[in-house]
Amino acid sequence: SKVKVAINGYGTIGKRVADAVTMQDDMEIIGIAKTRPNYEAFVAHDKGYNVYTLADRVDDMKSAGIPAAGSIDDMIAEADVVVDCTPGGIGEKNKALYEKAGVKAIWQGGEKHELAGCSFNAEANYEEALGRDFVRVVSCNTTGLCRVIYPLDQEYGVKKVRVTLMRRSADPNDVKNGPINAIVPNPIKLPSHHGPDVKSVIPHINIASTAVKLPTTLMHLHTLNIEMEKDCSTEDVKALFAKQPRIRMIGQGIGSTAEIMELGKDMGRPRGDMWENCVWEDSVTMYEGELYFFQAIHQESDVIPENVDAIRAMTELEKDGAKSIAKTNKAMGL
Ligand code: NAD
């Protein structure tokens, strides 16, 4: 029988995890939880998901036209794994609920490492999550960094990473955040916490980061500079990246994040998503013994296949990380 998955918090990340789980043959969605009967709740209902809600809002859901299947507690009682995709900081409050129900739980990058005690990236530390009750899938930026740093470290030994993160200031559906016309160093005090979050997955990596917010909703862009222990050439790095299962080498006249998002739509990806790191092939350069390159990260979707792999590791449906990655990728069309 399939592993039963519940999604608590059906927003940007939650709705994508629900659809990705549905595409797998070894797991299924038994319900999703929304706090309000908005358009996303109606779409979930129309897609055939059982829509659950907060205990005191079940009647509101019903009167709005969604025959709610019950409360979040009811949903959790039915699940083997809950994927908590509530806004950063809220998920922490749900831990007691999951412990009480004896259900496994996955949190997202907005929560602290200590909450789960295991921060996850499928390529870098799949085995660490085997059989675990609690796992945190790291943020979109940390996921993107792990995917390039881990193989470089395995192959050449990473001595030091320096990265500047140019961050989208809001998701496309977000009308509350900004700026809409400024460049914001964030944080101003350096280094930023973003890069060092990689250490929650690969503890020995030496990494420093700076970050700025830009008036765009289309992807994050990283400028990386990496020193390695062993000698390697530009061609070596390009070849290493090209064979990674979740890195896409970008060329063909693509010169911006806007064109990458257009590519995702042209490829017929659900919601135009780009699940892979997008590394500009022509940017990959060894210069005076150090590596430089640009990569773009689709914040709304790069963590989605990682959540699927985390479910598989925690429930031990598959013990081999590379096999899980291949299975997830094939089912999603990645
Ligand atoms: P979101 O705001 O788009 O969605 C959160 C959903 O949870 C909303 O539908 C909200 O109504 C619902 N919710 C709020 N309180 C709830 C509660 N108590 N119980 C059940 N549902 C509740 O947020 P998001 O962007 O999907 O982020 C979710 C998590 O994923 C955060 O930890 C975030 O840091 C992380 N993350 C976000 C991105 C991104 O770029 N959007 C990327 C990677 C990781």
What's the confidence (pLDDT) of residue 181? Answer: 97
What's the confidence (pLDDT) of residue 69? Answer: 82
The architecture that CATH gives domain 140-297 is 2-Layer Sandwich (3.30)
ipTM of the assembly? Answer: 0.99
Q: How far out from the chain centre does Cα 14 lie?
A: 11
Residue nearest to atom 30 of ligand 1 (CA): 108
Amino acid at position 162, single letter: R
Inter-CA distances, 11 with 14, 91, 150, 178, 295, Å = 5, 13, 29, 19, 25
12 lines ligand 1 (CB under 6 A): yes
What's the CATH number for 3-138+303-332? 3.40.50.720
For residue 61, report the distance from its CA to the centre of ligand 1, in Å.
20
What's the confidence (pLDDT) of residue 275? Answer: 98
Q: Of 19, 85, 173, which is best to mutate to test ligand 1, by the most ligand atoms within 8 angstroms of its C-beta?
A: 85
DSSP string, 137-181: EPPHHHHHHHHHHHHHHHHH-EEEEEEEEEEESS-TT-SS---SS
What's the confidence (pLDDT) of residue 212? Answer: 98
What's the confidence (pLDDT) of residue 98? Answer: 98
Q: Are 309 and 324 in contact (CB under 8 A)?
A: yes
Q: Which residues are catalytic?
A: 140
Question: What average pLDDT values come out for the chain (334 residues) when binned by 10 residues?
Answer: 97 98 98 96 96 95 90 97 96 97 98 98 98 98 98 98 98 96 97 96 98 98 98 98 98 98 98 98 98 98 98 98 98 97
For residue 93, report the distance from its CA to the centre of ligand 1, in Å.
14
Bridging pattern class, strands 3-8 and 27-33: parallel
Q: Are 194 and 157 in contact (CB under 8 A)?
A: no
Task: Give residue limits of the domains in the chain.
Answer: 3-138+303-332, 140-297
C-alpha 294/C-alpha 283 separation (Å) is 6
